[in-house]
Amino acid sequence: MNTRFTRGYRVYLAVACLAVGGTITIQAWAGSLDEALTGGTASLDIRMRYENVDQDNALDSADALTVRTRLGYMTGDYRALSAFVEMENTTALIEDYNSGPGGNGKSDYAIVADPELTEVNQAFLKFSGVTDTLAKLGRQRIIHDNARFVGNVGWRQNEQTYDAFRLDNETLPDTRLSYAYLDNVRDIFGNDTDVGSHLLNARYDGLPLGALVAYGYFTDFKDAPANSQQTLGLRFAGTHEYEAFKLLYTLEAAQQSDYEDGDSGIDAAYRLLELGVTIRGITGKIGYELLGGDDFSGFETPLATKHAFNGWADMFLNTPTDGLQDTYLQVGGKWAGTKLLAVYHDFQADKGSADYGTEVDLLAARKFAKRYTVGLKYAGYRADTWQVDTDKFWLWGELKI
């Protein structure tokens, strides 16, 4: 963690504590430093995964067998302070793949974005001495809402984390207010991106039909200032129980524009409409997601968990300049304790009439003995005027303690 990062967040933490101190009480402190250091909790997460990627191009098909290990330790509280450190290692047992930017250099193969590396995945201080308030300083995981705009890319073996100061408060009834300042993004390839980002997220759960979220994400890319952007949006999501079924619904709208030294041509809209129903444990959904485009740039989500959206084949990690319309159908449920999910996507351009193809995604996963998970997953993308036909297959097992 660099010196500028540490100096800056000392100031943010002091200001935040002073700001809330006049209205809410400081909790009592108890316990010794020795007790806090020795009475903590260790964590272990091991995931072994096989991935195959086959594309209709000149690249060789990729085969990857990787093991990701995370070992962490959370101390107990001392004067309302605690600390968490987590190391992460990814090792390739079969490395017939291109691991991406700055990776293994095997450019003849298709990409599997799981490079071999060892790093500090998380390392933060947490302060909980103010009622209904939590502050974190350091490298940490940050996920807002469904991770569409801010996430950890948890599907990849090396997750995305942030060097940040974060403050969450739940003083107001049914309300959670969150602010974070990001100094650095540590991406899935082990690369650092120098940023100055302000993340604001306010959630209200007091409405009868669902939760309302307002957000503003302001990101200044220090090394690529023309890409700096701000995104302002509203999200409403909820469920309603009927005698025979449960109704699910989500509405979301956002607008993206330039920020700081960002290019003035950045101007795009985001829309989401999703409607679903659950009957006897089976859930069906139909959805429409729009990432607008204007021939100059598409609506981008640089901090998102992109793999979870617009198909698991990852054909739209960067939005086309003509934008993207994703109309999808999803059916899922459990059978004999196994989670089953099927999704169909139809992709179209926002501007013009370009057809971007279709995709079918399939998943089967089972958790047992509380600590173990095994799963199978498939993504089949069929191209039209965008990318190439792509098939991806995954088989994995995971242990969490």
Q: Is 23 helix (H, G, I), strand (E, B) or coil?
A: coil
Model pTM?
0.91
- Model confidence at 26, pLDDT cuts 50, 70, 90, reads low
Q: What's the whole-number average pLDDT of the chain?
A: 93
Residue type, 45: D
What is the per-residue pLDDT across 92-126, written as a single tens digit (0 to 9) for each? 999 999 999 988 999 999 999 999 999 999 999 99
- Model confidence at 297, pLDDT cuts 50, 70, 90, reads confident
pLDDT at 332: 98
- Residues 317 and 306: their CA atoms lie apart, in Å, by 6
Q: What is the DSSP letter of 109?
A: B
Q: Do you know the residue count of the chain?
A: 401
pLDDT at 349: 96
The terminus-to-terminus CA distance of the chain in angstroms comes to: 27
Q: Is 6 helix (H, G, I), strand (E, B) or coil?
A: helix
> What's the distance, CA 62 to chain centroid?
25
Residue type, 83: A
Neighbours of 35 (CB within 10 A): 14
293-296: which pairs have CB atoms within 8 A and are 24 or more residues apart?
293/268, 293/319, 293/320, 293/321, 293/322, 293/323, 293/324, 293/349, 293/350, 293/351, 294/265, 294/267, 294/268, 294/321, 294/323, 294/351, 295/321, 295/322, 295/351, 296/265, 296/266, 296/267, 296/321
